[in-house]
A and B are shown apart, each in its own frame.
Chain A
Amino acid sequence: MKIIKEKHAFLMRWTHWVNFPVLTIMIWSGLFIYWANDAYGISIFGFTLIKFFPQWFYDYFHIPGRLAEGMAYHFLFMWFFFINGLLYLAYTIFSGAWRELIPKRNSFKEAWLVLLHDLHIRKTIPPQKKYNAAQRIAYTAIIVMGIGSVLTGLAIYKPVQFYWLCWLCGGYHFARILHFTLTIGYVLFFVIHIIQVILAGWNNFRSVISGFEVINTKTEIKPEPSPVEKTDEQDGNK
Chain B
Amino acid sequence: METNKQKKVKVPLTIEQKIKRRNFISFGAFFALSGSAVAGWKWLLDAPDETAGITGNAKAPLRRALNKTELFFRNFFSNNHLVKTYPESRAAKNIRVNSLIGIEDDEDFDPTNWKLAIKLQNQKTLNISIEEIKALPKTEIIFDFKCVEGWDQIQHWGGVKLSDFLEHYKLNEQTKQRYMGLETPNGEYYVGLEMECVLHPQTLLAYEMNNQPISNDHGAPLRLIVPVKYGIKNLKRIGTMSFSYTRPRDYWAEQGYDYYSGL
Contacts of A163 in B (CB 8 A): 81-84
Contacts of A195 in B (CB 8 A): none
Q: Give the Cβ gap from B38 to chain A, nearest Cβ, in Å.
A: 9
Q: Give the Cβ gap from B224 to chain A, nearest Cβ, in Å.
A: 16
Q: Give the Cβ gap from A56 to chain B, nearest Cβ, in Å.
A: 21
A39 to B152, CA, bound (A): 12
**Choice from A2, A4, A173 contacting B152 with Cβ under 8 Å:** A173
Contacts of A167 in B (CB 8 A): 84
Q: Are A158 and B262 in contact (CB under 8 A)?
A: yes
Q: Count of chain B residues with Cβ under 8 Å from any Cβ of A?
A: 48
Q: Are B151 and A37 in contact (CB under 8 A)?
A: yes
Q: Are B65 and A76 in contact (CB under 8 A)?
A: yes
Q: Are B66 and A161 in contact (CB under 8 A)?
A: no
Q: Are A37 and B256 in contact (CB under 8 A)?
A: no
Q: Are A72 and B152 in contact (CB under 8 A)?
A: no
Query: Per-position contact with A for B77-103: 1 when CB-CB < 8 Å, else 0?
Result: 110011110000000000000000000
A1 to B69, CA, bound (A): 55
Q: Which residues of A contact B (CB under 8 A)?
A: 1-4, 17, 21, 33-34, 36-37, 39, 67-69, 71-73, 75-76, 79, 158-163, 166-167, 172-173, 176, 206, 209-212, 214
Q: Give the Cβ gap from A166 to chain B, nearest Cβ, in Å.
A: 8
Q: Give the Cβ gap from A106 to chain B, nearest Cβ, in Å.
A: 34
Assuming the A-B contacts A68-B257, A161-B77, are A75 and B147 also in contact, with contact meaning beta carbons closer than 8 angstroms in the complex?
no
Assuming the A-B contacts A158-B73, A160-B81, A210-B23, are A69 and B151 also in contact, with contact meaning beta carbons closer than 8 angstroms in the complex?
no
A37 to B256, CA, bound (A): 18
**Choice from B16, B30, B76, B256 contacting A158 with Cβ under 8 Å:** B76
A-B contacts, 25 listed (Cβ < 8 Å)? A1-B15, A4-B19, A17-B30, A17-B33, A33-B150, A36-B149, A39-B150, A68-B58, A69-B58, A72-B62, A76-B61, A76-B62, A158-B262, A158-B263, A159-B83, A160-B82, A160-B83, A161-B73, A161-B76, A163-B83, A163-B84, A167-B84, A172-B152, A209-B26, A210-B22
Assuming the A-B contacts A36-B150, A160-B82, are A21 and B37 also in contact, with contact meaning beta carbons closer than 8 angstroms in the complex?
yes
**Choice from B26, B83, B151 contacting A210 with Cβ under 8 Å:** B26
Contacts of B218 in A (CB 8 A): none
Contacts of A68 in B (CB 8 A): 57-58, 252, 255-257
Query: Per-position contact with A for B32-47: 1 when CB-CB < 8 Å, else 0?
Result: 0110010001000000
Q: Are A2 and B77 in contact (CB under 8 A)?
A: no
Most A CB contacts (10 A, CB to CB) among B76, B83, B256, B263 go to: B263
Q: Give the Cβ gap from A163 to chain B, nearest Cβ, in Å.
A: 6
B236 within 8 Å of A by Cβ? no
Q: Give the Cβ gap from A9 to chain B, nearest Cβ, in Å.
A: 13
B148 within 8 Å of A by Cβ? yes
Q: Give the Cβ gap from B139 to chain A, nearest Cβ, in Å.
A: 17
Assuming the A-B contacts A17-B30, A68-B255, are A75 and B57 also in contact, with contact meaning beta carbons closer than 8 angstroms in the complex?
no
| Interface majority SS (helix, strand, loop, mixed), chain A | helix
Contacts of A211 in B (CB 8 A): 22, 26
A72 to B228, CA, bound (A): 19
Q: Are B263 and A159 in contact (CB under 8 A)?
A: yes
A136 to B114, CA, bound (A): 67
Q: Which 4 A-B pairs have the closest CB atoms?
A: A37-B150, A210-B26, A68-B256, A36-B149
Q: Give the Cβ gap from B82 to chain A, nearest Cβ, in Å.
A: 7
B59 within 8 Å of A by Cβ? yes
A201 to B94, CA, bound (A): 59
**Choice from A4, A69, A172 contacting B144 with Cβ under 8 Å:** A172
B258 within 8 Å of A by Cβ? yes
Q: Give the Cβ gap from B142 to chain A, nearest Cβ, in Å.
A: 15
Contacts of A209 in B (CB 8 A): 26-27, 30
Q: Are A161 and B263 in contact (CB under 8 A)?
A: yes
Q: Give the Cβ gap from B103 to chain A, nearest Cβ, in Å.
A: 22
A72 to B30, CA, bound (A): 28
With CB as the reference atom, state the residue of chain B lying closest to A206: B23
Interface residues of B in 117-168 (CB under 8 A from A): 144, 146-152
A206 to B256, CA, bound (A): 42
Q: Give the Cβ gap from B225 to chain A, nearest Cβ, in Å.
A: 14
Q: Give the Cβ gap from A4 to chain B, nearest Cβ, in Å.
A: 6
B18 within 8 Å of A by Cβ? yes
B63 within 8 Å of A by Cβ? yes
A17 to B33, CA, bound (A): 10
B227 within 8 Å of A by Cβ? yes
Q: Are A72 and B59 in contact (CB under 8 A)?
A: yes
